[in-house]
């Protein structure tokens, strides 16, 4: 009696495994047909997805500041290396020089309905003079006018960028 039950159970398992294998084969072939009709990003031989390149970011129509590294300092101007090329930044008695502190991890705004217990320890901007600026320092030169496509302009404010470690 036990031999018949064991034989029937083994036969059922073999039949179910065969049916499952056949259904899996049919299902897999259907998936391949669907994928061939609807092309999606295909996997490379390395196993990663092919991601199309991002479209280029359009250049803004109005530019009011350039940032970069100081490559030359003179009595009434400095030359700044930017990603748009070298820019000659003139300044006069109205130009404001400041040291601007940028935290490594900026403070997030408080969640509505909760108290903001984090105290902002970022120092306030400090006033500078031209003699405080040196070659290879990172600065940002601001102008109230549109200075797009201008290689020379007069800055209204020049900020020395200081990145904090905290």
Domain extents for the chain?
1-50, 65-107+121-163
Which residues have a Cβ under 8 Å from the Cβ of 165 and sit 6 or more positions away?
A: 104
Helix, strand, coil share (%) of the chain residues, nearest 5: 25, 30, 50
CA separation for the pair 68, 138 (Å, rounded): 5
Flag the least confident range among 61-65, 100-104, 138-142.
100-104
Percent of the chain topping pLDDT 90: 37
The more confidently predicted of residues 151 and 115 is: 151
Say which residues have a Cβ less than 8 Å from residue 51's Cβ, sequence separation at least 6. Answer: 41
Distances (CA, A) of 71 to 66, 159, 164: 14, 15, 23
pLDDT at 40: 53
Q: How far apart are the first and last CA of the chain?
A: 79
pLDDT digits (tens, 9 = 90+) for 78-115: 999 998 899 999 988 899 999 988 887 766 777 777 76
Angle of CA points 96, 98, 104, to nearest 5°: 145
Q: What is the pLDDT of residue 58?
A: 85
The larger pLDDT score, comparing residue 11 to residue 25, is at 11
Which of 133, 130, 131 lies closest to 70, judged by CA? 133
Lowest-pLDDT range, 98-107, 135-144, 147-156, 157-166? Answer: 98-107
The matching CATH number, chosen from 1.10.1040, 2.40.160, 2.40.50, 1.10.760, for 65-107+121-163 is 2.40.50
pLDDT for position 67: 93
């Amino acid at each position: 009696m036990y031999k018949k039950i064991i034989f029937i159970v083994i036969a059922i398992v073999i039949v179910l495994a065969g049916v499952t294998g056949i259904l899996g084969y049919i299902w897999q072939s259907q998936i391949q047909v669907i994928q061939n009709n609807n092309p999606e990003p295909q996997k490379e031989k390395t196993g990663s997805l092919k991601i199309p390149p991002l479209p280029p970011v359009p250049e803004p129509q109005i530019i009011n500041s350039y940032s970069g590294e100081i490559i030359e300092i003179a009595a009434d101007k400095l030359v700044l290396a930017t990603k748009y090329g070298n820019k000659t930044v003139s300044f006069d008695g109205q130009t404001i020089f400041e040291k601007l502190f940028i935290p490594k991890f900026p403070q997030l705004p408080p969640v509505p309905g909760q108290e903001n217990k984090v105290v902002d320890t970022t120092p306030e901007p400090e006033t500078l003079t031209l003699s405080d600026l040196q070659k290879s320092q990172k600065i940002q030169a601001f102008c109230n006018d549109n200075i797009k496509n201008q290689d020379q302009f007069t800055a209204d404010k020049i900020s020395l960028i200081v990145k904090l470690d905290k």
